[in-house]
């Protein structure tokens, strides 16, 4: 017998988010989970995310944040996207100054 998981399940939503991150972005995501609490939620201990792939990260986030894991992931992902946008913007300004 198979269990059908809806596409709206928290683990699948998290996995889809993490699948969109490159390796460096995933490392940064882990850094934020370990060092910057979101709202009333605790940070995750470094040892729990050390060498964690995307599937392990989903498991740890579900254990730590349960149904709020997507909310936390979205918050942390926004930090990454803001920094990536800023870096690209600065790089484009430097390139335009060079020409």
Structural domain of 83: 10-98
Read off the pLDDT of residues 15-48 as tens digits, 9 standing for 90 and up: 999 999 999 999 999 999 999 999 999 999 999 9
Residue with tokens 């254990």: 63
Q: Are 83 and 28 in contact (CB under 8 A)?
A: yes
Domain for residue 52, yes or no? yes
Domain for residue 22, yes or no? yes
CATH number at residue 33: 1.10.533.10
Domain for residue 5, yes or no? no
The two three-digit tokens of residue 16, written as one number: 């889809």
Domain for residue 1, yes or no? no
- Number of structural domains found in the chain: 1
Higher pLDDT, 43 or 3: 43
Q: Exposed, middle or buried: residue 63 (CB in 10 Å: 0-12, 13-18, 19+)? A: exposed
Question: What is the rounded CA–CA span in Å between residue 87 and residue 4?
Answer: 41
Q: Does residue 89 register a pLDDT over 50?
A: no
Q: Are 19 and 78 in contact (CB under 8 A)?
A: no
Q: Does residue 87 register a pLDDT over 60?
A: no
Non-local CB neighbours of 12 within 8 Å, separated by 6+ positions: 5, 6
pLDDT for the residue 1: 43
Domain for residue 3, yes or no? no
Domain for residue 21, yes or no? yes
pLDDT for the residue 80: 83
């Amino acid at each position: 017998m198979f269990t059908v998981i809806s596409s709206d399940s928290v683990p699948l939503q998290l996995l889809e988010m993490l699948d969109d991150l490159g390796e460096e972005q995933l490392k940064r995501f882990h850094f934020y989970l370990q060092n910057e609490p979101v709202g009333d939620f605790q940070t995750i201990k470094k040892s729990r995310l050390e060498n964690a792939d995307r599937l392990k990260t989903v498991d740890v986030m579900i254990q730590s944040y349960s149904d709020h894991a997507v909310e936390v992931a979205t918050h942390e992902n926004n930090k990454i996207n803001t920094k990536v946008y800023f870096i690209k913007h600065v790089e484009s300004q430097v390139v335009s100054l060079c020409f």
